[in-house]
Structure 1
Amino acid sequence: MADVDNLKSLSGLLNGIAQKAYYNNLEITEELLKNELYSDLSQEEFHTLHEKMKGLLKSIATADMDQAQLEAFLTAQTRKQGGGAVSAEQAAALSKFWKNQRSRIRESLLGQSRWEPTLRGMSWRVDLQTSTSRGQPVSSPVALVELELGRAGEDSEFVCMEFDEVKVNQVLKKMTEIQESIDHIVHHS
Structure 2
Amino acid sequence: MADVEATKSLSGLLNGIAQRVYHNKEEITEEVLKEQLFPELSGEEFRALHDKMRGLLRSIATADMDHAQLEAFLTAQTKRQGGGGVSAEQAAALSRFWRSQRVRVRESLLAQSRWEPGLRGLSWRVDLQTAASRGDAAHGGPVALMELELGRAGQDSDFVCLELDESTVTQVLRKLSDIQRSMEGIVQRS
Q: Number of matched residues? A: 186
Partner of 2:182 in structure 1? 181
Q: Secondary structure at the match of 2:163?
A: strand
The answer for the alignment partner of 1:24 in structure 2 is: 24
Residue 148 (structure 1) aligned with residue 146 (structure 2): no
Is 1:60 aligned to 2:60, yes or no?
yes
Identity of aligned residues (%): 69
The farther-off stretch of 160-169 and 54-63 is: 160-169
Which amino acid letter does the alignment assign opposite residue 123 of structure 1?
Answer: S
Q: Which residue of 1 aligns with 2:96?
A: 96
Equivalence for 1:172: 173
**Shift of residue 91, structure 1, vs aligned partner:** 0.9
What is the alpha-carbon distance in structure 1 between the residues aligned to residue 61 and residue 105 of structure 2? 7
Which residue of 1 is the match for residue 80 of structure 2? Answer: 80
Q: What TM-score comes out, normalization by structure 1 length?
A: 0.82
TM-score by length of 2: 0.82
Secondary structure in structure 2 of the residue aligned to 1:22: helix
User: Aligned-residue CA RMSD in angstroms?
Assistant: 2.6
- Which amino acid counterpart does residue 177 of structure 1 have in structure 2? D
**1:134 corresponds to which residue?**
132
Gaps of 5+ in 2: none
Sort the Cα spacing of 1:31 and 1:177 in 2 relative to 1 into closer, same or farther, 3 A: closer
**How much has 1:120 moved relative to structure 2?**
2.0
Query: Residue 130 of structure 2 contacts residue 141 of structure 2 at CA under 8 Å; is this kept in 1?
Result: no
Give the whole-Å Cα distance in 1 for the aligned partners of 2:185 and 2:114.
Answer: 24
CA distance in 2, matches of 1:45, 1:164: 65
Gaps of 5+ in 1: none
